[in-house]
Amino acid sequence: MRLGQRLGAEMFGTFWLVLGGCGSAVLAAGFPQLGIGFAGVALAFGLTVLTMAYAIGHISGCHLNPAVSIGLTVAGRFPARDLVPYIVAQVVGGVIGAYVLSVIASGAPGFDLVASGFATNGYGDHSPGHYTMIAALVCEVVMTFFFLFVILGATDSRAPAGFAPIAIGLCLTLIHLISIPVTNTSVNPARSTGPALFVGGAAVEQLWLFWVAPIIGAIIAGVVYPLLTGAKKRALSAA
């Protein structure tokens, strides 16, 4: 598959992740009497990855996440030469997804993009549970580590074929169920960047953590998984 096609798949996939996941938080989570709540948002994020893994996994590997691409590169599952183009495509997709979501959300009477939070990630006063920066950092590192560990395990050549998207989607759902109160859950720099750029202020000022922590967690998983399991380095054909 040509690089351009793979980058297009990553862009559209990340667009879907932000529109579906963040959209569920912005449009549906708090809707009077019918809101889907934290559990619904967690499931929505998991479903975006599950559906896209089946739709584009055979095209680009369905990373949808700079931290995932970096972790797979460290683990020897993804060529380093394609890393920067993948990250750019993912961030562009996340920004476009956030833009489309802002257009839809702004159609509601009285909607205030900044006041709503727009599903941005944060710590301290900008954490849903007012968790500290250290708590947020540890949470994001650990959650991303396990996300990458599951991805590497589910896509291992020794794992049952065809079930990887289900395991990965459910893992992301579980991660959100644990960490939405802490950081609003990132584990994905592209997902964090899109909404933050539209809200500005503290969302952008705190964005560094939601790049640094997921990347650290992904790198650790990329090192630990092959050492722990004896997995051979190979190209990842589908997530």
Please give the pLDDT value at position 234: 56
Please give the pLDDT value at position 239: 44
Please give the pLDDT value at position 134: 98
Indicate whether 225 belongs to any domain.
yes
Contact 76, 33 (CB under 8 A): no
Please give the pLDDT value at position 238: 42
Indicate whether 239 belongs to any domain.
no
Please give the pLDDT value at position 1: 83
Indicate whether 196 belongs to any domain.
yes
Indicate whether 166 belongs to any domain.
yes
Indicate whether 112 belongs to any domain.
no
CATH, residue 99:
1.20.1080.10
Indicate whether 235 belongs to any domain.
no
Please give the pLDDT value at position 85: 98
pLDDT band at 182 (very low <50, low <70, confident <90, very high): very high
The domain total for the chain is 1
Indicate whether 17 belongs to any domain.
yes
Indicate whether 131 belongs to any domain.
yes
pLDDT tens column, 79-132:
999 999 999 999 999 999 999 999 999 999 989 999 999 999 999 999 999 999
**Residue span of the structural domain in which 180 resides:** 3-104+118-229
Please give the pLDDT value at position 232: 66
pLDDT tens column, 186-207:
999 999 999 999 999 999 999 9
